[in-house]
Amino acid sequence: MSDISGVREIDVAVIGGGPAGIAAAAAARKEGAERVVVFERDWEAGGILQQCIHPGFGLHMFGEELTGPEYMDRYLKQAKDAGVEFALNTMVFQMDPPVEADGRRAASFWVMNPQTGIEHVRAKAVVLAMGCRERPAGALGLAGSRPAGVYTAGTAQRFVNMEGYMPGKKVVIMGTGDIGLIMARRMVLEGAEVVAVFEIMPWVSGLRRNIAQCLDDFGIPYYLEHSVCELHGKDRLEGISVAEIGKDRKPIDGTLRFIGCDTLLLAVGLIPENELSRMAGIELDPSTNGPVVNELLQTSAECVFAAGNVVVVYDLVDFVSEAGERAGSSAALYALGKLDTGRREFAIETTPNIRVVSPQKLCGERDTTVFLRVAEPVEGRCKLWAEPGIFSQTLRYARPGEMNEVKISAQKLRELPGDVKSVKIGLEAF
């Protein structure tokens, strides 16, 4: 694209005004970047936490249990006090591969806003903080017609908690992701009947405490190795057919049964939203579906940083904020020409029972936490390690629904012999 009406020049651009973006923007200002702008497509900043009205946020960051809006309120105050600028109702719709500016790489992208129209922005550094999206109904291959009453759990959450609409009265939930469990309780508190929660896998994908406080507290049953196979009803959902799932992940013959309901909520996974990253030509990791990053949260393009659920889907917002702060501070240092990316690079390798790892690279510049998810539950004591001789910890269990952390000291990395080019992370049962 060519310039239409000149270019807006800024120091650090943050794409997305959720927990990662707000923390990144505040950190970028604190690190000394002059013009820091958050581009947010919604009418207000805060992202998904504005609809997460349940408690459970902030224990790590603030030492108390806050609701989503309360947690965001604190961060938004920090960002405003730090002098962050906000471009609300503003959607970034096109991102170019990095351009050369003053002998260095810079980010170039295009935004639109109902008042100001289309604008071209150039930023010395950018933080990608677009978050993630829910896996939609189309990904499930459901038989039957397409009646009203089928929603992703997050859409229903926005309806109930922000728009004041009830999606239905008799609800079935597919998937044991945290949002599904939280919405089971929420629908009951708003007067609906929640018939059951079904999970295709042999284990729960959300946090155990959400089974306890969202299902058990309200007598809602859940069934593992079950999947909704068919929708019934023409204009409005009238029921679903559910079947038991065998070891081959296929429905078992003769187990299909009908359950009457007018609403089906889907909590079947989250996918990082990386359309803009793709446009910019950034390297993505097929296992996380997010950008490949090092511990500075720098992507394969040196002026592009990324943080939060756009990189890897986290369990806890506290870790998203922490990642945002790191990405924002790295982006500011890059914009100021002060970012030291180290003279060494280590690739992280993992044993096959680890499904997801982030960051994927280390440069030995900062102490860091490597987050990972196991492919299948290990019930019982196991050892999590990073070789050569970097980290070792005994765990009581490891489950796909709960991320594990490997603490890595930059000092230890730098002291490794010069021919060491990778760090191996592994998990084994005792």
Binding site for another protein (CB under 8 A): 50, 53-56, 59, 65, 67, 69-70, 73, 160-164, 189-191, 207-209, 211-213, 216-217, 315-316, 402
Q: How far is the CB of 183 from another protein (least distance, A)?
A: 13
Burial of 103 (0-12, 13-18, 19+ CB in 10 A): exposed
Q: How far is the CB of 270 from another protein (least distance, A)?
A: 17
Q: How far is the CB of 75 from another protein (least distance, A)?
A: 13
Q: How far is the CB of 317 from another protein (least distance, A)?
A: 10
In the complex with another protein, the residue whose CB is nearer, 1 or 165, is: 165
In the complex with another protein, the residue whose CB is nearer, 192 or 390, is: 192
Which among 313, 324, 245 has a CA at the least distance from the CA of 18?
324
> What is the rounded distance in angstroms from the CA atom of residue 34 to the CA atom of residue 401?
40
In the complex with another protein, the residue whose CB is nearer, 68 or 239, is: 68
Q: How far is the CB of 202 from another protein (least distance, A)?
A: 18
Q: How far is the CB of 129 from another protein (least distance, A)?
A: 21
In the complex with another protein, the residue whose CB is nearer, 160 or 237, is: 160
State the DSSP H helix or E strand holding residue 123, giving kind and residue range, or none if neither.
strand 117-128
> What is the rounded distance in angstroms from the CA atom of residue 355 to the CA atom of residue 66?
31
* DSSP symbols for 171-224: EEEE---HHHHHHHHHHHHTT-EEEEEEESSSS-SS-HHHIIIIIGGGT--EEE
- State the DSSP code for 308: G
Cβ atoms of residues 318 and 58 within 8 Å: yes
Which among 352, 376, 356 has a CA at the least distance from the CA of 203?
376
Q: How far is the CB of 382 from another protein (least distance, A)?
A: 16
In the complex with another protein, the residue whose CB is nearer, 54 or 170, is: 54
In the complex with another protein, the residue whose CB is nearer, 169 or 249, is: 169
State the DSSP H helix or E strand holding residue 263, giving kind and residue range, or none if neither.
strand 263-266
Q: 202 to each of 105, 128, 245, 246, how far by Cα in Å?
A: 48, 35, 9, 10
Please name the amino acid found at residue 125: A
Query: What phi-psi label fits residue 73: left (phi over 0), alpha (psi between -120 and 50 degrees) or beta?
Result: alpha
In the complex with another protein, the residue whose CB is nearer, 213 or 300, is: 213
Q: How far is the CB of 59 from another protein (least distance, A)?
A: 5
> What is the rounded distance in angstroms from the CA atom of residue 290 to the CA atom of residue 91?
20
Q: Which residues have C-beta within 8 Å of that of residue 26, sequence separation ≥ 6?
A: 75, 78, 79, 82, 84, 325, 328
Which residue(s) pair with 397 in the sheet? 379
Which residue(s) pair with 184 in the sheet? none
Q: How far is the CB of 191 from another protein (least distance, A)?
A: 8
In the complex with another protein, the residue whose CB is nearer, 201 or 284, is: 201
Q: Say which residue the tokens 């949002």 belong to.
A: 179
In the complex with another protein, the residue whose CB is nearer, 119 or 402, is: 402
Q: 78 to each of 16, 22, 129, 133, how far by Cα in Å?
A: 16, 9, 17, 26
Q: How far is the CB of 188 from another protein (least distance, A)?
A: 9
In the complex with another protein, the residue whose CB is nearer, 15 or 197, is: 197
